[in-house]
Chain A
Amino acid sequence: MQLNGQLALTILMGLFLVGVFAWLTRVENWSGYTPLSSGGSAVSGESGYVSEEKPAGIVRWLTTVDHKDIGLMYGAYGVFAFVVGGLMVILMRTELATPETVLVQPGFYNSLLTSHGITMLFLFGTPIIAAFSNYFIPLIIGADDMAFPRINAIAFWLLPPAALLIWAGFFPIPNLIPAQTAWTMYTPLSAGVGQGNQMNAGVDLMMLGLHLSGVSATMGAINFIATIFTERGEEVTWANLDIFSWTILTQSGLILFAFPLLGSALLMLIADRNLGTTFFAVGEGGGAMLWQHLFWFFGHPEVYILVLPPMGLVSYILPRFAGRRLFGFKFVVYSTLAIGVLSFGVWAHHMFSTGMDPRLRASFMAVSMAIAIPSAVKTFNWITTMWNGNIRLTAPMLYCIGFVSNFIIGGVTGVFLASIPVDLVLHDTYYVVGHFHYIVMGAITFAGMAGIYYWFPLVTGRMYQRSLAKWHFWLWMVGTNITFLAMILLGYGGMPRRYATYLPQFASLHQIATLGAYMLLLGGIIWVWNMVQSYFEGPVVEDGDPWDLEASGLRTVEWDWFDRKLQTKIADGGEEEPVTDGGVVEDESADELDTDE
């Protein structure tokens, strides 16, 4: 029986490889390559199907190495993961509307909280940032494409298998259960020892998926560093490099140091689980403390990996609607770099209550407090940029202001947590959950939304529906503050994290948090509807400067690019265009001008 299984697998694998080989020979004319002396990515005078133009249909998306296409795929992927992670938490918040378990069993609740965290951080957060950076950094710095376009494509295509592995436990596969380790994967629970069920292969698959997403992020980071260093246009210098590129450059540096460490630690943990090693074994190995140190040495820079580029987005977008240049540009850049360096010196503030050496604890407290300074410098710069400015409350601007507001609350609650005595009281309570959700939802996701609304006309050539965008913003702004302020209050009351049940005294605040979560759900539905409907039916943008930035002298190069794109569209005169965008012949300019208001 087992032999038959192996045989079937072998035949299946063989057929798959033959199929891939046959498809590749059809798509690529191997013998026709013209090697380049430079070894660069631009290839001239070659033959073969995919070399002359973008292929049609689905093959275009499977084979593209164009940074804009890859950016769009990152975006679509990130949005999908965001919806999945969001629905997971809606299930959890619904369960938490009552003190006892009604909807989901505690074990499944633990699985949901594990997957919600990993999905939002690694499958939504990092990719949605990569969406913006892939699409816009080459345009903004005047590069033809990323330095390594194919590595760029590999980095993206690692993510779908990563998601399948991370979610594998939820699929109806026999003998496979989802991980219940929380995203921090603390040993010995995650090492699968003891009487629990975490030795299951579903946990291994989740770790493999996480490892893959780390490989993907590292590849992307190397690519961005190389691109920003070597592919800048002649007119782009270090002195006038834009703030978004600065934050992506810093983030890439952090990824380069942090993610390989996560990958190594995960491989050690996988080896402990499957190959009999004792890296994290209690007594013989490093024990639980070694895992926590390794994990948080990655885990805290990860926070800044996620927040620096959104800070860059806000620094980039907010001045456009304040009618002024970014106040103290240099100091925002210095703060970014300072945060990047300091972020590697704060990791043990996640471990204050583990019984580590108090002298070490004090030093980590000092650095954790110190990192608030560059963050505050940025916050004051954003506020001063708006001060006496000509503020236009468009949807992207609302999200930028929402970012600053939520970031202040999330940041100040964090300063309290950095203090050892306060942390010892609040550790592992809902206060921590409220604090970091103010940052990841209230700040990072808000900045992402600012970017999405700001560049929606550039990417789609259409305008979103403004009133729906306002509904979206206010539902999210109010919903975020209701949900996460309730959590901070729950934490003050002593409500511990990661429980499907709770004492009846916490019921009111939990129900308020659930109400807020439903507001977020409603806002999210409005947002998706707005994006999809506007993509197909929104008013066509005919002006290369839809935000009217020229008037205040704040127009940036990507809008010049968009303008040139529109100009060449007009020059085409509405005739059938050459098949450059996947073989779909679009002739919008003639008929849709009449229909769209």
Chain B
Amino acid sequence: MDENPGLSEQYRTASPWPFFIALSIPLAEAGILFNLFAVAVGGLLLFFGCCAGMLQEAGYVDRPWRSLVVGAVIVLAFGGLLLYADTQVANEAVQLAERGYAVLVAGIILFVGGLLGEVFVDDGEFAV
């Protein structure tokens, strides 16, 4: 039985990335909101890592590493914003700095990962 009559056989019907991207968003959100350092870092890494992988899979980029660096810049900017906001908030109960550090750590890991991949991973492995 042909499940897809009339459809090109080259059509891709599976991708492992969406599931983990969907999982990473609540992890990152909950981690940042409830100030859970590891969950925030892990959720952000998972999100931007899988986005880079998916961009490569879809053919929008050749290699995932620069996407990681772009992700890192966004994350670092957000972390910086949180740190700046913390200095503007007088309320002692609101701890934006800790959340900011978690986001910054995720950004640094993404940045280093992207940089190492760009420099050290052999281009031959990604040959067309």
User: Which positions in A face B, CB cutoff 8 Å?
Assistant: 6, 9-10, 12-14, 16-17, 20, 23-24, 27-28, 30-31, 33-46, 50-51, 53-55, 60, 62-66, 68-69, 144-145, 149-154, 156-158, 161-162, 165, 201, 204-205, 208-209, 211-212, 215, 270, 274-276, 561, 564-565, 567-569, 572, 577, 580-581, 586
Contact = CB atoms under 8 A, between A and B. Distances in A.
B1 A150 contact: no
A43 B19 contact: no
26 contacts: A9-B36, A9-B37, A12-B38, A13-B41, A17-B45, A24-B16, A28-B16, A30-B56, A33-B126, A34-B59, A35-B56, A40-B58, A43-B12, A46-B12, A55-B14, A151-B18, A153-B22, A157-B22, A165-B26, A204-B33, A212-B26, A561-B5, A561-B6, A564-B5, A568-B5, A577-B1
Nearest to B31: A13
Nearest to B93: A276
B15 interface: yes
Contacts of A569: 1-2
Nearest to B96: A275
Nearest to B13: A66
Which interface residue of B3, B14, B53, B59 has the most chain A CB atoms within 10 A?
Answer: B14
A567 B1 CA distance: 8
B59 A60 contact: no
B19 to A, nearest CB: 5
A66 B25 CA distance: 22
Given A36-B59, A274-B33, A276-B93, A154 B10 contact: no
Interface residues on B, range: 35 or more
Contacts of B37: 6, 9-10
Contacts of A34: 59, 128
B30 interface: yes
Nearest to B56: A33
B24 to A, nearest CB: 9
Contacts of B34: 201, 204
A24 B53 contact: yes
B125 A31 contact: yes
A66 B53 CA distance: 19
A565 B2 contact: yes
Contact of A208 (B5, B26, B39, B62): B26
Given A43-B10, A162-B26, 6 more contacts: A20-B46, A50-B16, A149-B15, A150-B57, A158-B25, A275-B89
B58 A39 contact: yes
Nearest to A51: B12
Contacts of A156: 22
Which interface residue of B20, B64, B93 has the most chain A CB atoms within 10 A?
Answer: B20
B120 interface: no
Interface string B77-119: 0000000000001010110100000000000000000000000
B10 to A, nearest CB: 5
A166 B64 CA distance: 34
A40 B59 CA distance: 7
Main secondary structure of the interface of A (DSSP, over half): helix
B74 interface: no
A54 B15 CA distance: 9
B1 A568 contact: yes
Contacts of B11: 42, 144-145
A153 B59 contact: no
A557 to B, nearest CB: 11
A33 to B, nearest CB: 6
A27 B19 CA distance: 13
A211 B29 CA distance: 10
Contacts of A215: 25
B54 A150 contact: yes
A300 B91 CA distance: 36
Contact of B42 (A13, A33, A36, A64): A13
B81 to A, nearest CB: 13
A458 B15 CA distance: 26
Nearest to A159: B22
A43 B18 contact: no
B21 interface: yes
B8 A144 contact: yes
Which interface residue of B5, B53, B61 has the most chain A CB atoms within 10 A?
Answer: B5
B49 to A, nearest CB: 8
A153 B10 contact: no
Closest 3 CB pairs of A and B: A157-B22, A153-B18, A36-B59
B89 A276 contact: yes
A587 to B, nearest CB: 10
A572 B1 contact: yes
B128 A35 contact: yes
B6 A581 contact: no
B1 A157 contact: no
B19 A153 contact: yes
